[in-house]
Structure 1
Amino acid sequence: MIRLIVADDHPVVRDGLIGMFAADPDVEVVGEAADGAEAVRLAMALRPDVVLMDLRMPGTDGVTAITDLAAAGSTARVLVLTTYDTDSYVLPAIAAGATGYLLKDAPRDDLLRAVRAAANHESVLSPAVAARLMNRVRTPAPALLTPREHEVLTWVAAGATNREVATRLLISEATVKTHLLNIYAKLGANDRTSAVATAFTRGLLPPGPPGD
């Protein structure tokens, strides 16, 4: 029996998924969550085999929840189920530790197979997401950012604020913000966290803090 938690902020979606899995004798839905924080709490308490995780939820989003589960030592496999297949969603989720990524228009049988595969520690990607990841791998990442943009992102990844980055690089905060906007556009990111996650995934950032 596969123990499953369903995390989605829309009650109708949760009810539909729970009803679908209720017809499968191999799956037991042991909990449901309306946001990422609740999903993490339930996963740590109920120890499911798989967490079916939406990404865009109020409060704690799906990527943060995946990261928190990994940090807490959860053994649950996280299968993302979302409507978004852009780089700014796919790459951070995979980098955070998601074992699979499906879109909500996936056929019922595909979703059932994906949950079983995730429970068996197998990775599952929708065809659109797999194609996107392949395209990213084939893109020469080092050419994406200018040397200055790379410096800015390296310090941001180390936890520096815009002011601290400006001080270290002897530039203005406004210039730092401009560089970050350019970085977001090039990496398909919408914030600092997703930009850093994407950069690590694509090999743009080395492990460890930057040197002075």
Structure 2
Amino acid sequence: MTAIRVLLVDDHPVVRAGLRAMLTDFAGILVAAEAADGQAAVDELQRRQVLGDPVDLVLMDLQMGAGMDGVTATRLIRLLDPAPPVLILTTYDTDADILAAVEAGASGYMLKDAPPEQIQQAVLAAAAGQSALAPKVAALLMDRITNPGMALTRREVELLELLATGLSNRAMAQRVFISEATVKTHLVHIYGKLGVDNRTAAIAEATRRRIIRSPGQQA
């Protein structure tokens, strides 16, 4: 059986070393290359395409210091031809992070504290063109399907993230290219879904529910 060739993307050398050691223990998986941020990953994939030496899967962290983040890189990787599947492997488990990754085209989303065997199965599944989701992620997406009226939309989650950074309604409108009146309408819907009546309470409740990262974790 031909080994699945993986591009490992993480900004921490120690983490990459640990993941490389873990994956090397699994039959049928080979770490073919590494990258320290999203841009380096895209560059490496393009280089390998020219050389005719592609990888089968990208194992991607989300937040990588000052370098290109995993969501942006995933979106760029999905534009390549051929485009290898991207499996997110991260410590972040908020709705905002999960929805952004899925929207960008990630084939799977796993957490770094998952048992090694689950990560192995996720790599195998994603490389085979299947979805590979941590149980929490699968539950979130299923809940959005079964309770669409109560689930926050991707736009609402995006505005909550901006809200947590302290931006005004006008600044948020400019950031996402919508009118200030539309922002106000979205906030009314957000408050209703969260059961709150002001910005501070919305941020606190969204953080408590793990919809967004806490303000101190915002990128």
State the TM-score, normalizing by the size of structure 1. Answer: 0.69
Pair 1:45–1:137, CA change in 2 (3 A): same
CA offset digits 1:70-111 (Å, max 9, x no partner): 123342110110111111000110111111111111111111
Matches within 5 A, 1:1-212: 1-46=3-48, 47-58=54-65, 59-141=67-149, 161=174, 165-166=178-179, 188=211
Q: What RMSD over aligned residues (CA atoms) do the two structures have, in Å?
A: 3.1
SS at match of 1:57: coil
Aligned residues: 171
Q: Measure the CA separation in 2 of the matches of 1:11 and 1:144.
A: 36
Q: Measure the CA separation in 2 of the matches of 1:139 and 1:49.
A: 35
2:94–2:212 Cα contact (<8 Å) kept: no
SS at match of 2:113: coil
Q: Measure the CA separation in 2 of the matches of 1:94 and 1:15.
A: 26
CA offset digits 1:86-141 (Å, max 9, x no partner): 11000110111111111111111111111111111111101111111111222334
How big is the shift at 1:20? 1.5
CA offset digits 1:155-188 (Å, max 9, x no partner): xxxxx8369744xxxx6xxx67666767696994
Q: Write the letter of the residue equivalent to 1:95.
A: E
Q: Write the letter of the residue equivalent to 1:128.
A: K
1:21–1:28 Cα contact (<8 Å) kept: yes
SS at match of 1:80: strand
Percent identity over paired residues: 44
How big is the shift at 1:189? 5.7
Q: Write the letter of the residue equivalent to 2:94.
A: T
SS at match of 2:42: helix
